């Protein structure tokens, strides 16, 4: 199983934000970047295949005078380069991570909801050169061009089922398909047409009543839904059938990740535990989950859990108000 390596020390304390750890690997898989944030600082760390730190950078937004509290960050690979996307309620900032962190794009986004602060719930890569961020009310898309400049793309298609519904999450589920979660009750699967950046509806279904989702992952045809009560629901992504639940934690599930090549699922929780499971999809409507290992952060809430690659050879765990990212290596 996994054994702990020396932790990565960062120059900030990670924020009160679920799923606060972002991971992205280079195209050649020779290095991996990790990013975490608090309400005003972001830290980006580059590590090699042995989880040794190559480079570390920190961005302090409070140095610029007035700043808006960070809501979400995400590392994304676009046109084979890794960029750091950061969002507050009013601004979108995009940084190059080639050597340190260089600000490339600074855009005022406070033009959608005139009264309410924007609530950012998702940042997703749409295609090799397009990403989007999602608020409760709409999706906004941005593209990088050949000159390494970012521009907003026109996107007027409303993917919500009604004008009054609110978007909770928008995630990629592979093969140019995306899942839109609305009102903590409904999931719609959309297929992307990359040529004109439009979506075609594939199917829609309601999730299990009283589900209060906190985080989402996908493994094969299984939709994994972390909940406030500590369970992980396993749903057939084709028809919405609830196949079962994993009793993973006694408190809120804050983060999850899947090592897709081996079927490992790691989940973190406010109960101070991260737990590792092996998933096996037996057939379309049957799965098996085997508990493998647990990791404890005494008196701390675990807010970030990520595998560093699809093979699951390393995993990273971050906790609330800590200046460390704990790194674990799988044993031979």
> How confident is the model at residue 183, as a pLDDT?
86
> How confident is the model at residue 12, as a pLDDT?
67
What's the whole-number average pLDDT of the chain? 89
pLDDT (average), residues 38-66: 87
pLDDT band of residue 16 (cuts 50, 70, 90) is: low
- Residue of 194, 195, 167 whose CA lies nearest to 181: 167
pLDDT (average), residues 112-135: 80
Sheet harboring 231-236: ordered strands across? Answer: 213-219, 222-227, 231-236, 242-247
> How confident is the model at residue 163, as a pLDDT?
86
pTM of the model: 0.91
> How confident is the model at residue 99, as a pLDDT?
84
Pairing of strands 302-307, 314-319: antiparallel
pLDDT band of residue 65 (cuts 50, 70, 90) is: low
Specify the higher pLDDT residue, 209 or 326.
326
Instruction: Sort residue 243 into left (φ over 0), alpha (ψ -120 to 50) or beta.
Output: alpha
213-332: CATH superfamily: YVTN repeat-like/Quinoprotein amine dehydrogenase (2.130.10.10)
**pLDDT single digits (tens) 91-102:** 899 999 998 899
pLDDT band of residue 114 (cuts 50, 70, 90) is: very low
The percentage of the chain sitting over the pLDDT mark of 70, rounded to a whole number, equals 94
What three-state secondary structure class fits 224? Answer: strand
Cα–Cα separations (whole angstroms), residue 195 to 110, 127, 199: 28, 10, 11
**pLDDT single digits (tens) 224-263:** 999 999 999 999 998 889 999 999 999 999 999 999 999 9
Terminal-residue alpha carbon distance, the chain: 8
Entry field: residues in the chain: 332
**pLDDT single digits (tens) 185-222:** 899 999 999 888 999 999 999 887 777 889 999 999 99
**pLDDT single digits (tens) 154-172:** 998 999 999 889 999 999 9
């Amino acid at each position: 199983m996994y054994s702990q390596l020396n932790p990565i020390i960062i120059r900030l304390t990670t924020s009160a934000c679920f799923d606060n750890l972002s991971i992205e690997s280079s195209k050649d898989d020779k290095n991996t970047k990790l990013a975490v944030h608090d309400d005003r600082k972001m830290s980006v760390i580059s590590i090699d295949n042995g989880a040794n730190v190559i480079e570390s950078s920190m961005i302090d937004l409070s140095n610029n005078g007035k700043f808006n509290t960070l809501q979400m960050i995400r590392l994304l690979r676009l046109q084979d380069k890794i960029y750091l996307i950061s969002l507050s309620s009013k601004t979108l900032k995009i940084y190059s991570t080639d050597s340190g962190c260089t600000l490339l794009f600074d855009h005022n986004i406070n033009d959608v909801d005139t009264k309410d602060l924007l609530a950012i719930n998702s940042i997703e890569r749409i295609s090799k050169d397009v990403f989007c961020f999602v608020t409760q009310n709409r999706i906004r898309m941005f593209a990088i061009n050949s000159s390494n400049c970012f521009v907003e793309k026109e996107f007027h298609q409303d993917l919500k089922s009604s004008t009054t519904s609110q978007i909770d999450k928008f995630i990629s589920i592979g093969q140019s398909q995306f899942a839109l979660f609305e009102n903590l009750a409904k999931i719609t699967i959309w297929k992307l047409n990359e040529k004109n950046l439009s979506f075609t509806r594939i199917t829609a279904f309601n999730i299990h009543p009283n589900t209060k989702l906190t985080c989402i992952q996908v493994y094969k045809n299984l939709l994994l839904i972390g909940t406030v009560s500590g369970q992980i629901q396993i749903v057939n992504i084709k028809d919405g059938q609830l196949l079962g639940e994993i009793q993973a934690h006694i408190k809120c599930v804050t983060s999850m990740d899947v090592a897709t090549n081996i079927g490992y699922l790691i989940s973190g929780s406010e109960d101070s535990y991260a737990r590792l499971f092996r998933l096996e999809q037996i057939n379309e409507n049957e799965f098996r989950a085997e508990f493998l290992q647990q990791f404890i952060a005494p008196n701390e809430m675990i807010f970030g859990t990520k595998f560093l690659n699809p093979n699951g050879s390393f995993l990273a765990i971050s906790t609330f108000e800590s200046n460390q990212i704990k790194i674990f290596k799988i044993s031979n």
